[in-house]
Amino acid sequence: MSSRALILGCAGRSLAAEEAAFFRDAAPWGFILFKRNIGTPDEVRALTSALRAAVGRTDAPILIDQEGGRVQRMGPPHWPSYPAGRAYARFDGAAAAMARLGARLMAHDLKEVGINVDCAPVLDVPAAGAHDIIGDRAYGTTPEAVAEIGRAVAEGLMAGGVLPVMKHIPGHGRAACDSHKDLPVVETDLATLEAEDFVPFRALSDLPMAMSAHVVFTALDPERPATQSATVIERVIRGAIGFDGLLMTDDLSMHALTGPFRARAEAAFAAGIDMALHCNGDMAEMRAVAEGAPLLAGAPARRAAAALARLGTGEGLDLPEARARFAAALAAA
């Protein structure tokens, strides 16, 4: 059975029979986990196995947002706490090396429990006066610094056998509100966006996956957020930025978007999105999103296959030594 262009969440730490039956019929390409789904390592392994069994695909991607800092779904007591992205800037000339090491260690944690995609790096460039929803999640305050550390994070994840997802393309750093709650509208001129906000995404346009921003850019499309704007996707993401990887939405249940859930998904696909993401595990919402999502075919299927083809086994790691080195460097800084 063909996969549907969907990534879905589930409600708890184990898979309910109703969820398993729905996933079997809906055939999502992948899944995403949140803190509500995270128990012990054994519980997470059992959940990832059950999700893959539900769709009958051992290669089904399972995603998580594991950035460090405020956005860390897996943490103590079973996993280490990692610093926010901004923390790496204090390492001066060693910032990229430390970011790569931190991401490599996170990849080990994820892969051990069956998670093979991390929604990182965050490539948003924070602007003065913007909402702090990005804040210290950003790797720096300049496009160059964000691109450098973002590249290191992506490399560290892939070295551990985990695919990175760069976000939030083409940029969330100027948003004056939290897109989880409201629709941000950015009125910055196109020349400035191209010279600043788009730069890290252009520098990392070779990455396999990206997540769209629920942000309106009035210089491009004053009526629709990037997620649902053919102008932004075609002209900027595929055009100026040059990204030809798998493009997924940010969570369709966020309040930046309005309207019925089927319509939210249909608008994103009509604009050129490859994959719909729905995160909260609400069954009624998931059913509606699934109704608006097509089977994977054509260019989206090619991009999905190309992304999975880059999912290697990872390089070797002396885990105790790497953890000790990372902890000592953080303590010294």
Given the residues 250, 251, 274, 278, the one annotated as active site: 250
Helices 41-55 and 17-26 cross at an angle (nearest 10°) of: 40
Helices 283-291 and 17-26 cross at an angle (nearest 10°) of: 10
Determine whether 250 is an active site residue.
Answer: yes
Residues contacting residue 310 through CB under 8 Å, at least 6 positions apart = 158, 163, 208
Integer Cα distance of 160 and 241 in angstroms: 27
- 69-98: b or e for each residue (b if 16 or more CB lie within 10 Å)? eebbbbeeeebbebbbbbbbbebeeebbeb
Determine whether 180 is an active site residue.
Answer: yes
Given the residues 25, 42, 180, 255, the one annotated as active site: 180
Segments in the chain below pLDDT 50: none
Cβ(183)–Cβ(189) under 8 Å?
no
Transcribe 18-42 into DSSP letters.
HHHHHHHHH-EEEEEE-GGG--SHH
Query: Quick one: pLDDT at residue 314?
Result: 79
Integer Cα distance of 126 and 165 in angstroms: 19
- Provide the residue range defining the domain that includes 20: 4-332
Integer Cα distance of 29 and 169 in angstroms: 21
Cβ(202)–Cβ(168) under 8 Å?
no
Phi, psi of 255 (to 5 degrees): -80, -5
Cβ(235)–Cβ(220) under 8 Å?
yes
Cβ(106)–Cβ(82) under 8 Å?
yes
SS (H, E, C) 72-93: ECCCCCCCCCCCCHHHHHHHHH
Q: Output the domain CATH number for residue 104.
A: 3.20.20.300
Interval 234-260: pLDDT, tens: 999 999 999 999 999 999 999 999 999
Integer Cα distance of 32 and 9 in angstroms: 5
- Give the amino acid at 40: T
pTM for the model: 0.96
Number of domains in the chain: 1
Integer Cα distance of 274 and 294 in angstroms: 10
Interval 64-83: pLDDT, tens: 999 999 999 999 999 999 99
Interval 210-228: pLDDT, tens: 999 999 999 999 999 999 9
